[in-house]
Amino acid sequence: MQTKTYNAFEMAQEQFDRIAEMMQLNEGTIQLLRNPMREYHFSIPVRMDDGHYKVFRGFRVQHNDARGPGKGGIRFHPLETIDTVRALAMWMTWKTAVVDIPLGGSKGGVICDPHNLSERELESISRGWVRQISQNVGPLSDIPAPDVMTNPQIMLWMLDEFETLNRGKYPGFITGKPVGMGGSLGRTEATGYGVIFTIREALREMSINIKDTTASVQGFGNVAQFAIQLYNQLGGNVTAVACWNQKDQKAYTYRKTDGIDLKELSGITDRFGGIDKDKAHELGYEVLDGNQWIKENVDILIPAALENQITEDTVKLISKKVKIIAEGANGPTTPAADEIIKAQNIYLIPDLLANSGGVTCSYFEQVQSNLNYYWDKDEVLAKLDTKMTAAYRSISNLAHRKDIKMRDAAFITAVTRVAQACQERGWI
- The residues carrying an active-site annotation are 107
User: CA–CA distance from 282 to each of 218, 264, 265, 285, 286 (Å)?
Assistant: 21, 12, 11, 7, 10
CB neighbour burial string for 354-370, b if at least 16 within 10 angstroms, e if fewer: bbbbbbbbbbbbbebbe
H/E segment holding residue 172: none
- Side chain identity at 252, as an amino acid letter? Y
Closest CA to 106 of 119, 91, 117: 91
- List helix spans (H) across 270-334: 277-282, 292-295
CA 236 to chain centre: 22
Exposed/middle/buried for 423, CB within 10 Å: 0-12, 13-18, 19+?
Answer: middle
H/E segment holding residue 324: strand 324-326
Edge-to-edge order in the sheet of strand 105-111:
38-47, 53-64, 105-111, 70-77, 142-146
Asked if 241 and 325 touch (Cβ cutoff 8 Å), the reply is no
Asked if 67 and 40 touch (Cβ cutoff 8 Å), the reply is no
Closest CA to 368 of 379, 358, 357: 379
60 DSSP β-pair partners: 40, 108
Task: Strands of 9-156 (E only): list them.
Answer: 38-47, 53-64, 70-77, 105-111, 142-146
Task: Strands of 184-320 (E only): list them.
Answer: 214-218, 237-245, 250-255, 286-289, 300-303
Contacts of 373 by beta carbon, 8 Å cutoff, 6+ apart: none
Pairwise CA distance, residues 149 & 152, whole Å: 11
Task: Strands of 34-83 (E only): list them.
Answer: 38-47, 53-64, 70-77
